[in-house]
Amino acid sequence: MKFLVAWSSAPETRHEVYEAFAQMSDADDAADHPGVNLIGRWHDLASGGGILICESDDLSAVEAWTWNWNGVLDIEVTPVLDDDECKTVIKKKLGQ
């Protein structure tokens, strides 16, 4: 399954979050989300938020990753479909 994860930080924790993230090596980042394939991540530094798309067969792995950051970020996780997955669902619903 693919997930859209959106996060935002409060002004009083924003620089703490940026500092922690900036200090992470690629290995640290990978270790932060075992069982979750990060497809892409985009940041809005001005607002202290951002979004990412990830993929995992294990929702618990996605939730465990977000738990690592929920002390300093507000996080929302939403399951999403890509175009082909969406078309498949629609065609089934339409009996095609």
The CATH number of residue 39's host domain is 3.30.70.1060
Q: What is the mean pLDDT of each run of 10 residues along the chain (96 residues)?
A: 97 93 96 97 96 98 96 96 96 92
Identify the burial level of 86 via C-beta atoms within 10 angstroms of its C-beta, where 0-12 means exposed, 13-18 middle and 19 or more buried: exposed
Domain count, the chain: 1
Q: How far is CA 81 from CA 19, 32, 50, 68, in A?
A: 33, 24, 19, 25
Structural domain boundaries enclosing 55:
2-93
pLDDT at 90: 96
For the question of whether the overall pTM of this predicted structure is more than 0.85, the answer is yes
Query: How far, in Å, CA of 55 to CA of 53, rounded?
Result: 7
In whole angstroms, give the CA distance from residue 62 to residue 54. Answer: 8
